[in-house]
Amino acid sequence: MLWWTRRFWITPVVFIFVGILLIGLGFVTVPNGQTFLMYLGGFFIFCALLIVAFFVLVNRTEDNFEKNAIRGEAIILSREQTGIYLNNQPQVRFQLTVSLPGEEPYQIEHKEVVKLLDLGSISVGATIQVLVDPRNKKKMKIV
């Protein structure tokens, strides 16, 4: 499970709680009638279900990639920073020659966020370990 999904499970729980609270307030304000509060409560519950569905889909996709990925090696032909930072960590554009077992090596351009401490150890000509999606050879992850 991804780290952020563990923290965000609180969101659908809060949405469901607020939705039930709003539906209850709708019954209290106008007995035997539908009010805006009841519709709003239903909307909150519907949004909670969408959030849960999104979490399940993202986790399934990430787990399948890790489970089905082919382990290979890549040689760094070039690297340069893209100018984009994520949590103060630079995104780097790599030109790689990827070698997978039983297949011809191929070249690919790959962008990935790299820790600043690791940036110096990833030099041109170095061999790195990669995971490659067997269905889409352009989708890969540096290990």
Q: What is the mean pLDDT of residues 126-135?
A: 89
Phi, psi of 124 (to 5 degrees): -65, 135
- What's the token pair of residue 68? 């089905």
Span 37-82, pLDDT tens digits: 889 999 999 999 998 888 877 766 666 777 788 999 999 999 999 9
What pLDDT was estimated at residue 1?
47
Nearest to residue 12, comparing CAs of 58, 40, 57, 50? 50
CB contact at 8 A, 21 and 33: no
